[in-house]
Amino acid sequence: MTNRPKLRIGLIGSGFMGKTHVFGFATAQRVFDLPFEIVLHTIADRTDDIAAQASRSLGFARSSGDWRTLISDPEIDLIDITAPNAFHKEMALAAIAAGKHVYCEKPLAQLAGDAWEMADAAKRAGVRTQVGFNYLCNPMLRLARDMIRIGELGEIRSYRGIHAEDYMADPESPFTFRHDPAGGGALADLGSHALATAEYLLGPISSVLGDSVTVIDSRPDGAGGKRDVEVDDLSRMFVRFDNGASGSIEASWIATGRKMQHDFEVYGTTGALIFTQERFNELHFYSAADQAGRRGFRRIEAGPDHDPYGLFCVAPGHQLGFNDLKAIEIANFVKAISGEGPEPMNFRAGARIQGLVDDVRRSSGRGAWIDVSA
């Protein structure tokens, strides 16, 4: 490990997602045979004190109350942005301009146009980028995609995708940046994950027809009053894929009782897959090729047959956790930086998803289909 080149991280933001990234770096470093030695170089947050405190608890060598310090530090190779969404664009563009690789939590920016601007800047600068769509890093999703590509389901005919949670179900849950008309809403927050999974599995979506609904139209403003909410609490869409399949996708943050219903069902001519993130170490597979009277959905449990599970654990059935998915995401990105393999979800891909989110929103407003071909 000591002979490997160093990849020095500058992390902006020490809140929960910042911590999750640090967990991910620590695990990725141990579990994978990475082409770089990861160094937690500097952490930035709003004030010197907060940053200094975070550097101690999270294990960074230095800290700063000004994120621009990290951008201008020639030692830092990768800027990791977990600051509030409103700052993503400015920070990422500055990092790109400084020639650094950028890892940014979703959404890239509040508007798809801004996200595309960021993607274009990264391309021009030749830096590597990554947006955090961690659910895609599950070995069982990779298995699902491989099975689809290999043809184990035959020709794909239809798709159903959902991402539902209930963290905004309570009308007394206050107005936050997630309710900001620019970039907020269940569709942007959760539908983006469902869209990413759909395209990951079946390839590009070609057209959409959206249906966005605001259920809770005002929320406490934190000052004893109420503030109007314009963003969607739940959104549905019909979709068509380039491969000819049709489907539906839903997102809701008011699905009482649901904590992580990131689910999909894929139906092909000769097989089908069912998945729920609620039990994300399983994939259920039906094959019409099984013998009559013995057919049924098989509960495949994650194991060493499903890369990269085996790096975490030698035996099947032990299960990965959410933070392990983040470690896989980081490992994939780090490998892409060294030229091993493609960027798993770069800014271009992230901008694509945000574009889809905007398209669904527009389609819902018009009540009509919209072409979203890439």
Three-state DSSP class for residue 366: helix
Three-state DSSP class for residue 196: helix
Candidate ranges 21-29, 96-104, 106-114, 192-200; the one touching a copy of itself (CB under 8 A): 21-29
Binding to a copy of itself by CB under 8 A, coded x per residue (else -) over 257-296, reads xxxx----x-xxxxxx----xxxx-x-xxx-x-x-xxxxx
The DSSP string of 78-104 is EEEE-S-HHHHHHHHHHHHHTT-EEEE
> Residue 138's closest CA among 329, 325, 326?
325
Ramachandran angles phi, psi of 205, nearest 5°: -85, 140
CA distance 98 to 181: 31
Which one among 57, 84, 149, 176 touches a copy of itself, defined by CB under 8 A? 57
Q: Which CB, 122 or 283, lies closer to a copy of itself?
A: 283
β-strands 37-44, 246-252: how paired?
Answer: unpaired
Q: Which CB, 253 or 347, lies closer to a copy of itself?
A: 253
Q: Does 206 bind a copy of itself (CB under 8 A)?
A: no
AA identity, residue 218 = S
Q: Which CB, 268 or 350, lies closer to a copy of itself?
A: 268
CB of 47 to a copy of itself, least distance (A): 19
Q: Does 211 bind a copy of itself (CB under 8 A)?
A: yes
Q: Which CB, 47 or 270, lies closer to a copy of itself?
A: 270
Q: Does 301 bind a copy of itself (CB under 8 A)?
A: yes
AA identity, residue 313 = C
Q: Does 106 bind a copy of itself (CB under 8 A)?
A: no
Q: Does 133 bind a copy of itself (CB under 8 A)?
A: no
CA distance 173 to 215: 13
CB of 243 to a copy of itself, least distance (A): 12
CA distance 20 to 16: 6
Tokens 């072409």 map to which residue? 371
Binding to a copy of itself by CB under 8 A, coded x per residue (else -) over 167-196, reads x-x-x-------------------------
Which one among 62, 145, 219, 306 touches a copy of itself, defined by CB under 8 A? 306
- Those residues whose C-beta lies under 8 Å from the C-beta of residue 288, and which sit 6 or more positions away, are 154, 270, 271, 295
The enclosing H or E element of 240 equals strand 234-241
Binding to a copy of itself by CB under 8 A, coded x per residue (else -) over 225-264, reads --------xx-x-x-------x-x-x-x-xxxxxxx----
Candidate ranges 83-91, 104-112, 302-310, 330-338; the one touching a copy of itself (CB under 8 A): 302-310
> Largest Cα–Cα distance of the chain, in whole Å?
68
Candidate ranges 64-72, 93-101, 320-328, 351-359; the one touching a copy of itself (CB under 8 A): 320-328
Q: Does 92 bind a copy of itself (CB under 8 A)?
A: no
Q: Does 22 bind a copy of itself (CB under 8 A)?
A: yes
Q: Does 149 bind a copy of itself (CB under 8 A)?
A: no
Q: Does 315 bind a copy of itself (CB under 8 A)?
A: yes
**Taking the alpha carbons of 232, 234, 239, 243 in that order, is the dihedral positive or negative?**
positive
CB of 298 to a copy of itself, least distance (A): 4
Which one among 94, 204, 303, 362 touches a copy of itself, defined by CB under 8 A? 303
Edge-to-edge strands, sheet with 156-164 = 282-287, 271-276, 261-268, 156-164, 246-252, 234-241, 205-213, 370-371
Which one among 153, 328, 331, 345 touches a copy of itself, defined by CB under 8 A? 153
Q: Which CB, 19 or 226, lies closer to a copy of itself?
A: 19
Burial class (CB in 10 A: 0-12, 13-18, 19+), 225: exposed
